[in-house]
Amino acid sequence: MLQGNNLECMRGDRVLFSGINFSIKPGELMQVRGPNGSGKTSLLRMLCGLAVPNSGEVSWNGSDIRSLGEDYYSVITYLGHLSGVKDDLTTIENLCITSALAGVEIDKKTACEILQKMGLEKREALLAKVLSQGQKRRVALARLLLVQTKLWILDEPLTALDVSAIELIKNIIERYLAQGGMVILTTHQEINITATVTHQLYLS
Amino acid sequence: MLIWIIRRDLLLAMRRQADVLTTLFFFIIVVSLFPLGVGPEMNILRIMAPGIVWVAALLASMLSLGRMFSNDYLDGTLEQILLSPTSLPLLVLGKMFSHWLVTGVPLVLMAPVLGIQYDLPFSALIVLTLSLLLGTPILSLIGAIGAALTLGLRGGGVLVSLLVLPLYIPVLIFGAGAVEASTAGLGFDAHFSLLGAFLLVSLVCAPWATAASLRISIE
């Protein structure tokens, strides 16, 4: 269970948000909404441990994530604005390396199958720099099919994706939620994801 | 896991050979300019050789420091590295090792050839190569701390040289000193022992310091 207690974020002396409280249990979804510049990305970076809240704490099963360190990183998957796809590596190399970094070592055959599921067949041996933005995003999202973590933190996962890819991601997230996963995501698009409980968090 | 990150960095270096070759050619050209400028005065060249080769090696390894983490930072891979369940100092050590393989090893291999221009005796060429072999990993290890601290800063390239070059001084003194001692017919064991000690200390401390700096820089 992930809990945020009284989280506050400052940019210079401006308070971006404060007093954010929430808790998410297995099978639940939290959508973070708010206009540009309201601190959605800052909040998500706090939740995955990349940034430290100015006050308050984020806790996983009751303990502060700062003290858990790598034990916490092994149960979460974070997908940020920057997709982490290397232009000079092929699609398949990108997937193998990012999933190895996430602790799942896969062979080329598995990687090919995953890329096919993401609609990237015949693109396996291409350098990522020749792919379109949407295709790069698909490569980054392919990791979701491999990792076995308990919490996904997705920052704008749907940017640059076409309708069929959005549908695909929606299905992946729904299946994951049904299996007891937790998802926190930000998106500007309207998307209806079925979950047992959907929390809405508004930042203004 | 360590293997993955080393393999990845080597693969990236192969795909971007210009970056690797810049460092090597910078080293070759700087070392070759001195004999041309000073003139064919063998005695002077022989005395200057260790210092020049070592200073050129410091500057050459400096050149590539900026790229050590910045590409990963810009495309978001660094966030994934920081959030990896594998211990961060270990991953950083992998990056340092591949940085040394890509920028340090070519310098070590090239040094004996360049030393010939300075009329160094065979024994001194061997000592020069060995001192670089011991010293260049220290440059990558210490340099990584500076690269991590200046990550994402404007004008980070200048700042990193101000931060890191002073820390390179002991390596320069004992690296060049070993070669001078050997040409003077003295023992150079003490210099090598000290270089070895620097290497061990930085091997233990630098990955942790770099990991901590990266966490601060990315916040």
The string of DSSP codes covering B184-212 is TT---HHHHHHHHHHHHHHHHHHHHHHHH
What pLDDT shows up at residue A203? 86
pLDDT of residue B185: 84
Could B79 and A74 be called an inter-chain contact, meaning their C-beta atoms sit closer than 8 Å? Answer: no
Distance (Å, whole) CA B27 – CA B22: 9
Q: Which residues contact A85 (CB under 8 A, 6 or more apart)?
A: A94, A98, A128, A136, A139, A140, B75, B76
Q: At a CB cut-off of 8 Å and minimum separation 6, what does A79 contact?
A: A140, A141, A143, A144, A152, A153, A154, A155, A157
Nearest to B219 among A50, A85, A87 (CB): A50
**Complex ipTM:** 0.90
Mean pLDDT of chain B: 92
- Cα A85 to Cα A90, A119, A129, A137, distances in angstroms: 9, 17, 9, 8
pLDDT tens for residues A82-130? 888 998 999 999 999 988 888 888 888 888 888 998 888 888 888 888 9
How far apart (Å, rounded) are the C-alpha atoms in residues B193 and B190? 5
User: Cα distance from A195 to chain B (closest Cα, Å)?
Assistant: 26
For residue A63, the cross-strand partners are A60
Asked whether residue A81 carries a pLDDT value surpassing 90, the answer given is no
Cα A157 to Cα A172: distance, rounded to the nearest angstrom: 12
Angle, helix B88-99 to helix B189-218, in steps of 10 degrees: 120
Q: What is the mean pLDDT of residues B145-170?
A: 89
| pLDDT, position B168 | 94
Range B110-122 average pLDDT: 91
Q: Among A67, A45, A53, A48, which Cα is nearest to A20's?
A: A53
pLDDT at B184: 85
Taking residues A5-22, what's their average pLDDT? 89
Residue B113's SS3 state is helix
Q: With 90 as the cut, is the pLDDT of residue B177 above it?
A: yes
pLDDT of A192 reads: 82
Instruction: Give the C-alpha separation, B1 to B94, whole Å.
Output: 9
pLDDT given for residue B172 in this prediction: 95
Look at residue A175 in the predicted model and tell me its pLDDT: 92
Indicate the average pLDDT of chain A: 89
Confidence of residue B56 (pLDDT cuts 50, 70, 90): very high
Percent of chain A with pLDDT over 70: 100
- Give the pLDDT of residue B176: 94
Percent of chain B with pLDDT over 90: 70
Tens-place pLDDT, residues B10-55:
999 999 888 889 999 999 999 999 989 988 888 889 889 999 999 9
Of A48, A83, A93, the CB nearest to B83: A48
Give the per-residue pLDDT at B179.
Answer: 92
| Residue B1: pLDDT over 80 | no
Per residue in B58-110, pLDDT (tens digit) is 999 988 898 899 989 998 899 999 999 999 999 999 999 999 999 999 999 99
- pLDDT over 90 (residue A14): no
Q: Collect all residues of chain B within an 8 Å Cβ-Cβ radius of residue A84.
A: 75-77, 79-80
Q: How many CB pairs under 8 A join A and B?
A: 74
Which one-letter amino acid corresponds to residue B213? Answer: S
Question: So what's the pLDDT on residue B186?
Answer: 87
Residues 6+ positions from B157 with CB-CB distance below 8 Å: B66, B150
- Record: contact B76-A78, CB cut-off 8 A: no
Using pLDDT thresholds of 50, 70 and 90, give the confidence band for residue B196: very high
Tell if the CB–CB gap between A102 and B84 is shorter than 8 Å.
Answer: yes
Q: Of the candidates A85, B88, A71, B187, which has an alpha carbon nearest to the alpha carbon of residue B179? A: B187
For A50, the closest of B77, B88, B218 (CB atoms) is B218
Residue A98, chain B, CB below 8 Å: the answer is yes
End-to-end CA distance of chain B: 25
Per DSSP, the three-state class of A163 is helix
Looking at residue B218, its pLDDT comes to 87
Nearest-CA residue of chain A relative to B81? A101
pLDDT of residue A193: 84
Are B12 and A88 spatial neighbours (Cβ–Cβ below 8 Å)? yes
User: What is the residue extent of each domain of chain B?
Assistant: 2-218
- Least CB–CB distance from B86: residue in A51, A93, A103: A103
Determine whether the interchain pair A84/B83 forms a contact, defined as Cβ–Cβ distance below 8 Å. no
Spatial separation of the C-alpha atoms in residues A115 and B44, rounded to whole Å: 63
Predicted local distance difference test score (pLDDT) of residue B69: 92
Q: Phi first, then psi: what are they for A33, rounded to 5°?
A: -120, 165
pLDDT for residue A159 is more than 80: yes
Angstrom distances, CA of residue B147 to CA of B48, B81, B82, B121, B169:
30, 16, 16, 37, 17
Question: Whole-prediction pTM value?
Answer: 0.91
Under the banding of pLDDT at 50, 70 and 90, the label for residue B156 is: confident
Cα A200 to Cα A32: distance, rounded to the nearest angstrom: 6
Determine whether the interchain pair B75/A83 forms a contact, defined as Cβ–Cβ distance below 8 Å: yes
What are the chain A neighbours of B85 within 8 Å (beta carbons)?
70, 73-74, 102-103
- The more confident residue out of A38 and B133 is B133
A53 → chain B, closest CA residue: B219
**B86/A contact by beta carbon, under 8 A:** yes
